[in-house]
């Protein structure tokens, strides 16, 4: 068997690995939202407030996702996350305040306003997702 034919599969595997690394680099995004939920849940369980911990952790995850740049070092590569990032900031602030309200035991009218706003934003995410499918 000629030497060139033995090298061809190795070259193909090397090219495939390079393409895979490049794809991962361009398509990775910050996983701060699930990390925030898990950390918040853990801390909430330690202080006997798991619901508030999840809300605060989720809010901090949204804030972190908005603040951490999701653009890859390559200027021509697509960003890992598209859309307005200020929405993540607003959602994050609402969730943190809602979690702090649960911890403190305050019953304020804006708590219900936040809940309604979160439901509306969640429905908006669903509609936006279905809009991209068609």
11-67 pLDDT per residue, tens? 788 888 888 888 777 666 568 888 999 999 999 999 999 999 999 999 999 888 888
Taking the whole predicted model, whether its pTM rises above 0.85 is answered as: no
| Cα–Cα distance measured from residue 92 to residue 31, given in angstroms and rounded to the nearest whole number | 15
68 Cβ contact partners less than 8 Å away, ≥ 6 residues apart: 30, 32
62-121 pLDDT per residue, tens? 888 888 765 545 555 555 455 557 788 888 888 898 888 888 877 767 667 777 887 888
- Taking a C-beta distance cutoff of 8 angstroms, is the pair 50, 102 a contact? no
Q: Which of 71, 74, 85, 77 is nearest to 29 (CA)?
A: 71
């Amino acid at each position: 068997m000629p030497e060139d034919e033995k090298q061809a599969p190795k070259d193909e595997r090397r090219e495939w690995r390079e393409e895979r690394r490049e794809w991962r680099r361009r398509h990775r995004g910050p996983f701060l939202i699930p990390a925030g939920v898990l950390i918040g849940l853990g801390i909430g369980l330690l202080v006997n407030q798991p619901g508030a911990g999840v809300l605060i952790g989720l809010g901090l995850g949204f804030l972190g996702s908005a603040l951490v740049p999701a653009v890859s070092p390559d200027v021509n590569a697509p960003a890992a996350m598209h859309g307005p990032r200020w929405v993540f900031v607003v959602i994050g602030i609402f969730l943190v305040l809602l979690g702090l309200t649960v911890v403190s035991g305050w019953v304020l009218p804006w708590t219900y306003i936040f809940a309604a706003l979160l439901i509306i934003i969640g429905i908006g995410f669903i509609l936006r997702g279905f809009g991209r499918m068609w």
